[in-house]
Amino acid sequence: MLLEFTVGNFLSFKDKKTFSLEAGSISELKDNVVKEGKYKVLRSAVIYGANSSGKSNFIKALEFMVTTVKNSSKLNSTDKLNAKPFLLNTETENQPSFFEIIFVVSNVLKIDKRYRYGFEIDEDKVHTEWMYVLNANSKKEEVCFVRNNDGIGVADVFKDARGLESKTRDNGLFIALADQFNIDVAKNVMWNFSNLYILSGIDHSTSVVATDFLYNRNEEQKTAIEKFINNLNLGFSNFKINDDTQIGFKKRISTLHKKFDSNGKFISNIDFKLEDQESSGTNKLFDLSGYIVFVLYYGLQIVIDELDSKLHPILTQEIIKLFNNPETNPKNAQLIFTTHDTNLLGANLFRRDQIWFTEKDEFEATDMYSLLEFKDEDGNTIRKDRSFEKDYIRGRYGAIPYISNFQEV
């Protein structure tokens, strides 16, 4: 499970900002918290903020780290790393970007360890890289390896990776090379990166590939996809997949609608083509259904930018409830998403530590903070009985757009 992600000097993130899924010491909505070893971890988190405040940049930062780790072994020595530092400051524009992630190895692997892994990179090289492990019965981290401009130091806990230091490219990650040599610790870390799924809630058309894969190859998950779609009551009685494999999976999907005569008597079912005759919101739910079912089935993590786009607030709430409810999420999957839908704040879905905000300062750098850590002008924390939605809309927590009136323009 994901515990923390920290990013610094990347896109609009000038200083290091940490997003945490460790539960705070508060009492509300206890089902939203899962015990993972000695950690109390949140099942979901939502991120609010004005347009251009850094919400999507946070998702891009996490995606950049995941993609960099997964693709490192595929690069040539001359390939660029595509780091994007904060460009609005003379100090940071030529400095490396910082990324660090902390996670508890998934219960799928039956290992009770906490890993902290990170690196600093620029366009051309890896400047630093590190990994630490915290065992279940220990309070002190053990270093696995530390890399800087002087070289790579490998500790005994990662001794199987010794000898690979000289084989590591300047623009390559040591953890990825160790994974190529089938070293167990590296495999555990790579497994977690490979099973963290980052999706767009706006441009989601390619996500249907997962739905296609699961629907045609796993009977149990096929049933789960059907249940997920039909339970949302999207205006059709059922749906079916046509047998014509010459066309794409989505083009083969038809929804079934009831046809009646002038007296209201049922006549027959009529097929509607999903892509052409159903709403963009319904198409989005089909596109994302495979990933949602998959991560719930295996207890993985999914991150969605603009989850609410094209969806009615009640449908968005139902997706969130799937993750927050221990009965529908017994494997402890996690959902992280950005949204502008303030209705969710008034639906009693989230604890204060699950609600996050992004806001830019006067230098256009993104700040990121949770409602739990936010303090009002008197230095007081926010009580759990506050109306989060009303307070947010009124600007009590910041992270809203400032709109000049017509006369000021």
Taking only the tens place, the pLDDT of each residue in 215-252 is 888 888 889 999 999 999 998 988 988 887 778 888 88
Section 280-308 average pLDDT: 95
CB contact at 8 A, 142 and 135: yes
Strands 39-42, 33-36: pairing is antiparallel
DSSP reduced 3-state for 347:
coil
- Is the predicted pLDDT of residue 285 greater than 60, yes or no? yes
Taking only the tens place, the pLDDT of each residue in 148-194 is 999 999 999 999 999 999 999 999 999 999 999 999 999 989 999 99
Q: Say how far apart CA 244 and CA 250 lie, in whole Å.
A: 11
Strands 238-241, 126-135: pairing is unpaired
Strands 39-42, 142-148: pairing is unpaired
- Going from N- to C-terminal start, the domains of the chain cover 2-195+302-393, 205-287
DSSP reduced 3-state for 293:
helix
CA 362 centroid distance within chain: 28
pLDDT at 409 (0 to 100)? 47
Q: Say how far apart CA 108 and CA 65 lie, in whole Å.
A: 22
Taking only the tens place, the pLDDT of each residue in 382-399 is 888 889 999 999 888 988
CB contact at 8 A, 11 and 99: no
> Which residue, among 23, 37, 199, 197, has the nearest Cα to 115 in the 3D structure?
37
pTM: 0.94
CA angle, 197 then 203 then 207, to 5°: 45
Q: Say how far apart CA 405 and CA 409 lie, in whole Å.
A: 7
Taking only the tens place, the pLDDT of each residue in 3-53 is 999 999 999 999 999 999 999 999 999 999 999 888 999 999 999 999 999
Is domain 2-195+302-393 in CATH 1.10.287, yes or no?
A: no
pLDDT at 137 (0 to 100)? 82
- Is the predicted pLDDT of residue 264 greater than 50, yes or no? yes
CB contact at 8 A, 396 and 376: yes
